[in-house]
Amino acid sequence: DTTEEKIANQQLMQIARMVSVGELAAGVAHEINNPLTGILGFSELLLERDDLDPDMQEIIRDIYSSGKRASQITEDLLHFARNQREPTKEVVNLTDILDITIKLVQSQYKKLNINIIRDYPDQKFSVYGNSGKIQQAVLNLLGNAKDAMTGARKGSKIIVSTWNEPDGSIVLRVRDDGPGIPKKIQERIF
């Protein structure tokens, strides 16, 4: 009976594939980190200057913020490759994360005639988590809505909302006026 031997060989092949993927992820992360270091360093130097007009400072802050996000992604790749601990969590400002995230994609979405509406107060919502992971989740939700609306040629707005619940929890909702999820797929989503 060679069944056990076949299973063991399949498991070894799977482990070898995962090792290869981990090595590839580490290599990609290191290659991306090199130019990112320059982008972050030079944008920090520019932000220290007093002679830049406010519009230019805002653009440089956006470059720096995008660089930090890319840096977090490469760090996550390295954690995956090394099978290290979970990304660090801390108290972060959800409102600021949403503002930055929406700003990252807003001009691209406007070109597609999709308007992102901020439906949340200026109130600062403090949450415990990883800002990069929260931003990635929101980007994924925005991207899914955009793809569905452009694919179906239906819908023109995405609404991002936050609010406090009576139990003290904070709700983040991303909704759109697109075609929605087909019934046959809805029961398989989660």
Q: What pLDDT is stored for residue 173 in this prediction?
A: 94
Q: What pLDDT is stored for residue 116 in this prediction?
A: 95
pTM of structure: 0.60
87 dihedral zone (left: phi>0; alpha: psi -120 to 50; beta): beta
E-assigned strands of the chain?
90-93, 115-119, 126-129, 157-164, 170-176
**22 band by pLDDT with thresholds 50, 70 and 90:** low
- Burial environment of residue 67 by CB neighbours within 10 A (0 to 12, 13 to 18, 19 or more): buried
Distance CA 94, CA 54 (A): 24
pLDDT, tens only, 136-168: 889 889 988 998 888 888 889 999 999 989 998
Span 35-46, average pLDDT = 85
Distance CA 27, CA 74 (A): 10
Q: What pLDDT is stored for residue 98 in this prediction?
A: 92
User: What letter represents residue 122's amino acid?
Assistant: D
Closest C-alpha among 110, 168, 114, 159 to residue 138: 159
pLDDT, tens only, 62-99: 898 888 888 887 877 766 666 545 667 899 999 988 99
Instruction: State the chain's maximal CA–CA distance in angstroms.
Output: 78
Backbone torsions φ then ψ of 42, nearest 5 degrees: -70, -35
Closest C-alpha among 113, 189, 110, 127 to residue 162: 127
pLDDT, tens only, 165-184: 999 899 999 999 988 887 88
Span 1-25, average pLDDT = 71
Distance CA 86, CA 61 (A): 28
